[in-house]
Structures are given as structure tokens and as C-alpha cells.
Amino acid sequence: MVRESYLLFSSGYANSLEVINAQSNALESELYMVDVRMQLLVANIELYRGLGGGWQ
């Protein structure tokens, strides 16, 4: 999406605000994915603890 908006901008079919919006949306999606990944890792740790593994 970001690449396409930049190409449109370079060709004169989009303005800089559209490129910035595309970049912002991409960053927001990446941050969301990092958060989901962190939640998954924490859930795995809690499962491991709940099953009696490891930490005291």
C-alpha cells in the first residue's frame, strides 16, 4: 500500500498527505502485529506456568 501510494505520488496522481496516511496506516498495522505477537508469547508463558513448568 505504501509503495503504491508513493508511486502514485511520484506520477502526480496522489498528494503527499495520501502517502503519509498510507505510511501511518502501515505503521499502525505493524505495531498492532507486534502487540498481538507479545500477547501470544505471554499466553504461552502463562500456559507453561499453569501446567507446572519452571519458575518458582
Q: pLDDT tens-digit profile of 1-23?
A: 788 887 888 888 888 899 999 99
Residue 8 lies in a domain: yes
**Cα(13)–Cα(26) distance, integer angstroms:** 20
Residue 21 lies in a domain: yes
**Cα(22)–Cα(24) distance, integer angstroms:** 5
pTM: 0.71
Residue 42 lies in a domain: yes
Amino acid (one-letter) located at 17: L
The model's confidence at residue 55, banded by pLDDT at 50, 70 and 90, is: low
Residue 55 lies in a domain: no
Helix (H, G, I), strand (E, B) or coil at 56: coil
Residue 56 lies in a domain: no
Residue 16 lies in a domain: yes
Residue 18 lies in a domain: yes
Looking at the 3D structure of the chain, how many domains does it have?
1
Domain containing 17 equals: 2-50
Question: Residue 56 above 80 pLDDT?
Answer: no
Residue 11 lies in a domain: yes
Q: How buried is 13 (Cβ within 10 angstroms: 0-12 exposed, 13-18 middle, 19+ buried)?
A: exposed
